[in-house]
Amino acid sequence: MTIADAEKLLEARYLTCCERNQICKGMPCGFLNGPRRRSHHPFVHCRLVANCNRLGDRIFPEFLKLILADYKIRDNKFHIAGAFNGGIAAWHVAAGNPQYFLSVTAFPGYMWEPSAAKLEAISKMCVFMYVGEHDSYIWHGEMKWEAHFLRERGTVVRDSVEEGQPHRMEKDQSHGIETLAGANAGRLFDGFEEISKGCSR
């Protein structure tokens, strides 16, 4: 998949829902879009693992600091999310810069090469994890273990195995997590209401 393909996929399947979702209203939807209003928590989407892992260590947290310098962001906190490799990247960026994030969402995704220190770094965030029941990469075990680790430390974690769904989200509806796409994409933002109640139990 090229970057142009990723742009089209996000625009067609997720950004439209993000724009009309009442919880997300006023938030920037997408990676590097920049805040559109001055009172909400921006939503950072890690599209490609190359963007947020290999290059991410060079652009974060400077990228976030630039946004904070130019815009008034509530509590100086962001939400971060990513799909498949982007989900891994989102966890990587959140663990490396925990002071900037309220939540991390992966659909699917988990902490690559996890350590107690990395998982502790995101333990004060709300964590939302989704994986297809028929995920061909068998990410279920790693995601389940990390969710258990975080719950034991009082983290608010939602982990969902999406019934009948595969690994990737593609234009071909027979090869994507349809339960999180199109009209169903609002589920990815439902957790923001929980965040207002706190992310630790």
Residue 167 pLDDT greater than 90, yes or no: no
Residue 17 lies in a domain: yes
| Domain range for 132 | 3-194
In this prediction, residue 98 carries a pLDDT of 96
122-151 as b/e: b if 16+ CB within 10 A: bbbbbbbbbbbeebeeebbebbeebbebbe
Mean pLDDT of 50-60: 59
Whether 124 maps to a domain, the answer reads yes
Look at residue 201 and tell me if it is in a domain: no
The alpha carbon of residue 183 and the mean position of all alpha carbons in its chain are separated, in whole angstroms, by 18
On whether residue 84 sits in a domain, the answer given is yes
User: Does the residue 173 lie in any domain?
Assistant: yes
Question: Whole-prediction pTM value?
Answer: 0.73
Nearest CA among 84, 163, 93, 159 for reference residue 127: 159
What is the pLDDT confidence band of residue 55, given thresholds at 50, 70 and 90?
low
Written as one string, the DSSP assignment of 44-71 is EEE--HIIIIITHHHHTTHHHHHHHHHS
Q: Please report, for the domain that includes residue 90, its CATH number.
A: 3.40.50
Q: Establish if 31 belongs to a structural domain.
A: yes
Domain count for the chain, please give it: 1
pLDDT, tens digit (0-9, with 9 covering 90-100), for 95-143: 999 999 999 999 888 898 899 999 999 999 999 999 999 887 778 899 9
Q: What is the pLDDT of residues 25-35, one digit of tens each?
A: 333 433 333 33
Question: Residue 126: which H helix or E strand, with range?
Answer: strand 126-132
User: Does residue 188 belong to any structural domain of this protein?
Assistant: yes
Split at pLDDT 50, 70, 90, the class of 148 is: very high
